[in-house]
Structure 1
Amino acid sequence: MYLRPGFIVVIVGSVLTGLSTLVVTLRYYCRYYLVGTVTATDHLMLTALVLTWGNLVVNYYMDETSSHTRPSYYRIPEKRPLMAKYVKGIMLTWWMYRMSYVAALCFVKLSILYFFKTIASHRTLRHVVNGTIVFVGVYSFSAVLAMGFQCRTPSDAWNTDAYFAQFDVTPDPNAPKTQCYDPTIMFIFTAALNLFSDVVILLIPIPTLLSLSVPLRQRLALVGIFSIGMLAIVASSVRMRVMTLWAASPWNSAIYGTDLLLWGQVETNSGIISASVPFLRLLFRRKERAERLASGRKVVEIVSPRVGRKPQLEPLEMDTIMLFPENKSREGEEKEGWKPFITVPASLGERSSGSVGGLPMSPKTMA
């Protein structure tokens, strides 16, 4: 049985997003009922989950609209009206997806960084965390803004008449004139920044954990807990590789378009899951505490600093150590580079070399 590549993206995305929803739900249960507090880090992760569901819905409509198109029809003017509304749907959903994808990753990273702020006991570490928060927020907001205004008139990003005109062997003087920049460099640059920020976020807590005055085995165990984020880095690295292949040529964009969407789902959901799983240890805390007390072993709870109130239990706990010591935390004209360009993704319904990709196809290319 043949399954459209776009439909496979929807299936994989549904499974991963469903798993992310379960993990975040358990995280809220642990934080609210077992810890007694829900903070900004939890709300930021919930926002990322909502945006991820939005990405899944957009992926579904990408597959639905692309299933009604035929790559060969782009070259036949008489056939274009038959699929014009579906092509517009493809272009519009990709325009929405590019922004929601970057926003979802931004909130995942901010959730992790705000958690790091609660455990940052040294001034240097706090500065690093705050600087990373600013960096992630600025480049994500800039990327969303740039992708939303890819064309000087935003609606030109899904102008089917201007898009079809790219396939005319003889240029049509009556074709709509648009001013859009080639987004390929922006896509690759944003993907590279996402990968870089993933690595930075992974490394931030490592020096603090390795410097703890506890047995080496316990230090390595803590590093392992915080290194679950490697899953997101692997997914981000694979997507970065797919992105470079996708951007190499119009033909490659037709082949790798669905792979780009698939690894985008894997990257976002792996970030949500890996950042939330450490909080779920609280589900087993009471049983472990009872067993330790029964065996006569000392149990010391890990607390984070609170200003003006009694410290509360945080989601991590180790035997015979205080992981994080108490301390006080501180609260116009056409510009150069514009050129006619309309972005349309690869067909999600077929892996055909004639599919239309996300790069401009000139009549010379199509000849």
Structure 2
Amino acid sequence: MLYVGNLVYTVLQAAVKLSIVLFLRRIFPSQTFRRIAQGIEIILLLHGTLFTIPFAVQCTPVQSIWDRTITDRRCLNLQAVGFSSGGLAMAEDIAILLLPIPHVWQLKISLPRRLAVIALFSVGSFACVTSAIRIKYLVEYSTTFDETWDHVDIVVWSFIKQSMAMLCASLPTLRLLLVHIASRRRPGSSESFFHRETPKQMWRWSFDRLRRCRMRKQQDSDSAPRQTGEGVLVTTTVEVDRLSSMAIDVPPFPPPAYPGPRNNA
């Protein structure tokens, strides 16, 4: 079980961090930010690949990892591998934590909102703390005489770190839920729009906002004639969908009255 857990932990931490960096690269489109993010992505891919192989073939034969009755086995120095992986993971956490802060500070928004966004990104600082605690237990584990007992703390903090990493990666998708909860607690605030309006009105509001954003981008861009035509086509489709959705509230027309048979008398 520990053998499989080490493999899953190494791959999972690289995948979660990679998803966070890809998300940040979509938010901040500057060239400098993209180059730094691409460098971190390469390091994460190498970390997830190169450190999975030593954990997978840490002993030869592989069965000797869990079958201690096999005496003629050869094993790698897992302490060095664990310290290297833990130190690199902590450096990655710090780099991802500091990566968006300078760009967020330059946003043209109010200071309270700016600090709120920085605090949101700073939730990942707990992952740095868990990495340091995990390295502490790795040091204690290197001089242990009872692997099954001293390995418990490492496993617990590894799961805590992965849970916090996945929570940080999911925070952007939880914004609407947090706004909905805040609107219930403050009915008079401006955010209570999401609580007062019906789902149909919310959909129309979101759709109109997206359409205006697309039209603004289309007006500001110097595109080719073909691209302009595509933009008009998209806008026309949006208008048709919007009219069709609004037509739901229109009552049906009465059936036409057909004249009866003529009376020749």
Higher relative contact order (CA 8 A, sep 6+): 1
Residue 202 of structure 1 contacts residue 229 of structure 1 at CA under 8 Å; is this kept in 2?
A: yes
1:310–1:214 distance in 2 versus 1, CA, 3 Å: closer
User: Hey, what's the Cα distance between the residues in 1 that align with 2:145 and 2:192?
Assistant: 66
Q: The residue matched to 2:69 in structure 1 has which SS?
A: helix
1:212 and 2:110 correspond: no
User: Hey, what's the Cα distance between the residues in 2 that align with 1:130 and 1:239?
Assistant: 27
Residue 150 of structure 1 contacts residue 181 of structure 1 at CA under 8 Å; is this kept in 2?
A: yes
Unaligned runs of 5+ in 2: 194-204, 206-210, 215-220, 222-265
Number of the residue aligned with 2:116 = 221
Structure 1 counterpart of 2:16, one-letter code: V
Number of the residue aligned with 1:165 = none
Q: The residue matched to 2:75 in structure 1 has which SS?
A: coil
Q: Give the ranges of 4+ consecutive aligned residues of structure 1 lying more than 3 Å apart after TM superposition.
A: 252-255, 284-291, 309-312
Residue 21 of structure 2 contacts residue 41 of structure 2 at CA under 8 Å; is this kept in 1?
A: yes
User: Hey, what's the Cα distance between the residues in 2 that align with 1:134 and 1:101?
Assistant: 19
Structure 1 counterpart of 2:79, one-letter code: T
Identity of aligned residues (%): 23
User: Hey, what's the Cα distance between the residues in 1 that align with 2:163 and 2:153?
Assistant: 15
User: Hey, what's the Cα distance between the residues in 2 that align with 1:100 and 1:294?
Assistant: 42
Counterpart selection for 2:40 from 103, 107, 132: 132
Number of the residue aligned with 2:22 = 114
Number of the residue aligned with 1:282 = 176
- Report the alpha carbon displacement of residue 201 of structure 1 after superposing the two structures with TM: 0.6
User: Hey, what's the Cα distance between the residues in 2 that align with 1:132 and 1:311?
Assistant: 31
RMSD over equivalenced CA pairs, Å: 3.0
1:95 and 2:3 correspond: yes
The number of residues matched between the two structures is: 196
Kindly indicate which of the two structures has a greater share of residues assigned to helix. 2
TM-score scaled to structure 1, two decimals?
Answer: 0.48
- Report the alpha carbon displacement of residue 266 of structure 1 after superposing the two structures with TM: 0.8
1:262 and 2:170 correspond: no
- Bigger Cα Rg: 2
Q: The residue matched to 2:145 in structure 1 has which SS?
A: helix
Residue 235 of structure 1 contacts residue 263 of structure 1 at CA under 8 Å; is this kept in 2?
A: yes
1:151 and 2:59 correspond: yes
Unaligned runs of 5+ in 1: 1-92, 163-175, 296-300, 302-308, 313-325, 327-367
1:160 and 2:65 correspond: no
Q: The residue matched to 1:160 in structure 2 has which SS?
A: coil
- Report the alpha carbon displacement of residue 192 of structure 1 after superposing the two structures with TM: 0.9
